[in-house]
Amino acid sequence: MSEHTEKPPGDAAAAEEPQGPDVDSLPGGVPAAVEAVLLVVEEPVTDLELATALQVPVDKVREALAELKDEYDGYTGQGPDTGPTRRRGIELRNVAGGWRFYTRSEFAAVVGRFVLDGQSARLSQAALETLAVIAYRQPVARSRVSAIRGVNVDSVVRTLVQRGLISDVATDPETGAVLYGTTPLFLERLGIGTVADLPKLSPHLPGLENLQDFDDTTY
Amino acid sequence: MSEHTEKPPGDAAAAEEPQGPDVDSLPGGVPAAVEAVLLVVEEPVTDLELATALQVPVDKVREALAELKDEYDGYTGQGPDTGPTRRRGIELRNVAGGWRFYTRSEFAAVVGRFVLDGQSARLSQAALETLAVIAYRQPVARSRVSAIRGVNVDSVVRTLVQRGLISDVATDPETGAVLYGTTPLFLERLGIGTVADLPKLSPHLPGLENLQDFDDTTY
Amino acid sequence: MAQDAYDDGGAPAALPGTEKAGRFEVRLENFNGPFDLLLSLISKHELNITEIALAKVTDEFIGYIRAFSAAGDSFSLDEASEFLVIAATLLDLKAARLLPSGEVEDEEDIALLEARDLLFARLLQYKAFKEIARQLGTRLAEEAARFPRQVALEPQFAAMMPELTWRMSPSDFAAVAAKALEPREPAPTEVGIGHLHAPAVSVREQADIIGRRLQEQGVLSFRQLTDDADSLLVVVARFLALLEMFRDMVITMDQAAPLGELTVRWSAGEREWSAVSISEEYDRDDQDQAVLPVAEEDAEGGDRERAH
């Protein structure tokens, strides 16, 4: 998952790892095992990754995730073993294609004091507009973003790369220009699953959904 | 740091008027607030620290901690609002005078499998370069490393900390940012005695003493 | 549809400039780029493609550029030239309106009309992104209230990590450091395509050409004045030149009907007139020879945006 590590040759370590007990038989079962893994993840983790670690079918993981999410939200608990639960200070969310624990936003003021590096600084209007253009036009060259915004965007693009919200994702085969796209961190910061979940642009563009037609025509 | 960013008002606001809403009135109350804080703390946190942050009497925090511990263990839930709960994969433990979440030991095999998956015995190029910047610029804030490398380094820095090659060595007196430096393990791996033994960088580079000049302004 | 589109729904970009003590000022905190300015001008006049307000906007825009020059060191030429790009497009627009309607078989007419459509499409698009950006900002702020768990691994798991294999000598490591610390050139993200652009066109030169023609022949239509123009840019430059000459009161202009033929008449008789007098706003010998920058890529130097 992480780009900063390389696969060890043959995944030997994982293969040799002793099987361990069947999670289903442990107290708390699959949901508890999922919870345990979620406690150590550093970025959203997919149901498939969880199923691999737990060695159970992915359907069971999905079931457990849905159940946990409801539990943390305080909805469920009508089963034979569990009663209704209290809404928790922890939220289980599906963002950027995976699952991760977050603190609930009501407690931001309290929690913020314990987070060392704080949340990153807010983006300027210029950075937000540039980010929006890149998000909806990706993969896109800087010159195109610049044409849409009507100003030079070089330094804003640099800032966004540095903040990890966008990255160069490809090279234009014709011009050789670097093409930018948004990162998983962008999705996470926005709390959405994929780029397809971005709000629709069309309500803001009466009759001009087919933007490609004209923004390819640079002047 | 960057001209495109503004200090989040949250920081200042939190510092100046730590009032916030009364946690007791929020959904989930004190236990939920305690839970939220516990999710983000690196080090065990004491009941007194929690009480200060939450602005509630320490007795209430102790009560909430005891209740939470039981809940996570699957014992409680006899109150009017809550029924019996399932034993969770997360454990709330009191260690060294403070409280912290741990994965439940039954799931060590599963968690271990997850942690090991994708781990490598080698550092990625990104990790290596980040390590190099930190080694030659220490003590240095993550934001500065990110500025020098031009990309977001958050997750690489975490990897390097996890690997024991760097650690937080100080706090920037002005910004409060964590400053990183290399560890004795790093020196050992490289086979040198002290940081001063690092080879001098070639003369075509701006002298280390001048590095401030460019990375504060150019990026 | 067009009208709705210009309704600056809840987000009227405040007019960035105000006349104050005879000097032009730009409130930089409100200013975020040329399109922003154009949008504000347009919403102020509730611009409609077929309305005369377009001329007003154009004039006002030219006023901006003049004021920029007059303000001297407060504004970089970069900024002014970026405005000029927009101004040129606006002038395309205005010029398009001046061409006889119904006679669009002329390729140039079509080009001008397309330029108009292009500009409005661009403005609409920009406005859409502005609104979306606001939504994203709100969303990001809301999300910032949630903190993900991000803590070090429990020691038992950290200990499970495979032992690091380290084959690097101190000098290898220094080489990595040298490379990583090297000041990076701004990434050459695009292949230079400057050579593909039409050369810059000087308003002064064009003024000289049409000025002489008008002096010789007395009355000419805009069509006649531009029939030898080999590019859209020349047409634009000549139009700019006409505006300047009009200001200098050496010509009069007459248009019987909206979109009708524009007739230009030399009104200065034998009076001494030289194109040199009109040039300052557009030709800045000391700084930049590009009079009408053709493409955004030409813009160089730092970021000219006013952050926030």
Find the CB nearest C154 among B103, B119, B200.
B103
- What CA dihedral angle connects C276, C280, C285 and C287, to 10 degrees? 180
Chain A closest-CA separation from residue B65 CA (Å): 13
Distances (CA, A) of C96 to A143, C47, C239: 27, 16, 11
Structure token pair of residue B129: 């370069």
pLDDT of residue C76: 46
pLDDT of residue B133: 95
Q: Which amino acid is at C77?
A: L
B63 confidence band (pLDDT: 50, 70, 90):
very high
The Cα–Cα gap between A51 and A35 comes to 13
pLDDT of residue C61: 60
Chain A closest-CA separation from residue C157 CA (Å): 9
**A49 inside 8 A of chain C by CB:** no
Find the CB nearest A110 among B31, B37, B121.
B37
B211 confidence band (pLDDT: 50, 70, 90):
very low
Query: Does B190 sit within 8 Å of C173, measured CB to CB?
Result: yes
- At CA B92, angle to CA B91 and CA B93, rounded to 5? 110
Phi, psi torsion values for C25, nearest 5 degrees: -130, 150
Q: Are A164 and A183 in contact (CB under 8 A)?
A: yes
Tell me the pLDDT of chain C averaged across its residues: 63
pLDDT of residue B83: 55
Tens-digit pLDDT profile for residues C201-210: 677 788 888 8
Q: Are A118 and B8 in contact (CB under 8 A)?
A: yes
User: Around Cβ C50, how many Cβ atoms within 10 Å?
Assistant: 10
Chain A closest-CA separation from residue C168 CA (Å): 17
Query: Does C180 sit within 8 Å of B149, measured CB to CB?
Result: yes
Distances (CA, A) of A100 to A38, A65, A92: 6, 10, 6
Q: Choose among B158, B101, B114: nearest CA to B134.
A: B158
Residue with more model confidence, C236 or C97: C236
Beta bridge mates, A5: B123
Tens-digit pLDDT profile for residues B86-136: 789 999 999 888 999 999 999 999 999 998 887 778 888 999 999 999 999
The Cα–Cα gap between C13 and C132 comes to 15
Chain B closest-CA separation from residue A60 CA (Å): 15
Tens-digit pLDDT profile for residues B7-33: 444 444 334 444 556 777 777 889 999
Nearest chain C residue to B208 by CA distance is C181
Judging contacts by C-beta atoms under 8 Å, the chain A residues touching residue B104 are 28, 32, 36
Find the CB nearest A133 among C129, C135, C143.
C129
pLDDT of residue B122: 86
pLDDT of residue C31: 41
The residues, ordered by sequence, that sit 6+ positions from B27 with a Cβ below 8 Å of its Cβ are A74, A87, A106
DSSP A181-208: EE-HHHHHHHT-SSGGGSPPSGGGSTT-
**A104 inside 8 A of chain C by CB:** yes
Query: Does B199 sit within 8 Å of C162, measured CB to CB?
Result: no
Query: Does A90 sit within 8 Å of B35, measured CB to CB?
Result: yes
C84 confidence band (pLDDT: 50, 70, 90):
low
Judging contacts by C-beta atoms under 8 Å, the chain A residues touching residue B82 are 77, 83-86
Q: Which amino acid is at B49?
A: E
- For chain A, the maximum distance between any two Cα atoms, rounded to a whole number of angstroms, is 69
The Cα–Cα gap between C245 and C90 comes to 18
Element (H, E) at C88: helix C77-98
Tens-digit pLDDT profile for residues C17-49: 333 332 223 333 334 455 666 666 655 554 444
Structure token pair of residue A182: 């948004």
DSSP A23-45: GGGSTTHHHHHHHHHHHH-SS-B
pLDDT of residue C133: 92
Per-residue pLDDT at C54 exceeds 70: no
Q: Tell me, what DSSP letter sits at residue C55?
A: H
Chain A closest-CA separation from residue C1 CA (Å): 7
Tens-digit pLDDT profile for residues B152-186: 898 899 889 988 899 999 988 888 888 999 999 99
Chains contacting B (3+ CB pairs below 8 angstroms): A, C
Q: In this predicted complex, what is the ipTM?
A: 0.79
pLDDT of residue C155: 84
Q: Choose among B32, B11, B14: nearest CA to B23.
A: B32
Tens-digit pLDDT profile for residues C104-129: 445 555 555 555 556 666 776 777 88
According to DSSP, the β-strands at C23-26 and C17-20 are: antiparallel
Judging contacts by C-beta atoms under 8 Å, the chain B residues touching residue A7 are 118, 120
According to DSSP, the β-strands at B140-141 and A140-141 are: unpaired
The Cα–Cα gap between B51 and C35 comes to 52
Provide the sign of the torsion angle of the four alpha carbons B157, B161, B162, B164, taken in this order: positive
Query: Does A115 sit within 8 Å of B40, measured CB to CB?
Result: yes
DSSP B2-16: -TTEE--HHHHHHHH
Find the CB nearest A8 among B7, B40, B120.
B120
The residues, ordered by sequence, that sit 6+ positions from A126 with a Cβ below 8 Å of its Cβ are A151, A153, A156, B4, C32, C33, C305, C306, C307, C308
Q: Choose among A146, C211, A116: nearest CA to B158.
A: A116
- For chain B, the maximum distance between any two Cα atoms, rounded to a whole number of angstroms, is 74
3-state secondary structure of A122: strand
Find the CB nearest A148 among C4, C34, C126.
C126
pLDDT of residue A46: 94
Q: Which amino acid is at B196?
A: A
Query: Does B191 sit within 8 Å of C174, measured CB to CB?
Result: no
3-state secondary structure of C258: coil
Mutate which of B2, B5, B39 to disrupt the C interface (most C C-beta within 10 Å)? B39
Give the residues of chain A that fall short of pLDDT 50.
1-18, 80, 206-219
Rg value, chain C, Cα: 26
CA C67 to chain centre: 16
Q: Tell me, what DSSP letter sits at residue A121?
A: P
Q: Tell me, what DSSP letter sits at residue C276?
A: G
Element (H, E) at C264: strand C262-266
Rg value, chain B, Cα: 22
Query: Does A127 sit within 8 Å of C140, measured CB to CB?
Result: no
Mutate which of B6, B42, B45, B86 to disrupt the A interface (most A C-beta within 10 Å)? B86
Per-residue pLDDT at B36 exceeds 90: yes
pLDDT of residue A134: 95
C272 confidence band (pLDDT: 50, 70, 90):
confident
Find the CB nearest B122 among C165, C171, C307.
C165
Residue with more model confidence, C267 or C256: C267
pLDDT of residue C295: 35
Beta bridge mates, C17: C26
Element (H, E) at A169: strand A166-171
pLDDT of residue C271: 74
Structure token pair of residue C252: 């009069």
Tens-digit pLDDT profile for residues C120-171: 667 767 778 888 899 999 999 999 889 988 888 888 888 888 888 888 889 8
DSSP A138-150: -SEEHHHHHHHHT
The Cα–Cα gap between C124 and C136 comes to 18
The Cα–Cα gap between A118 and A123 comes to 15
Q: Are B20 and A74 in contact (CB under 8 A)?
A: no
Q: Are B53 and A113 in contact (CB under 8 A)?
A: yes
Q: Choose among B98, B104, C131: nearest CA to A204.
A: C131
Q: Which amino acid is at C225?
A: L
pLDDT of residue C257: 64
Q: Which amino acid is at C97?
A: R
Record the pTM: 0.65
C296 confidence band (pLDDT: 50, 70, 90):
very low
According to DSSP, the β-strands at B178-182 and B140-141 are: antiparallel
Place of tokens 């936003």: A105
pLDDT of residue C24: 29
DSSP C194-245: GGGSPPP--HHHHHHHHHHHHHHHSEEEHHHHHTT--SHHHHHHHHHHHHHH
**B196 inside 8 A of chain C by CB:** no
pLDDT of residue C291: 35
State the average pLDDT over residues C79-102.
Answer: 52
Structure token pair of residue A174: 């014709």
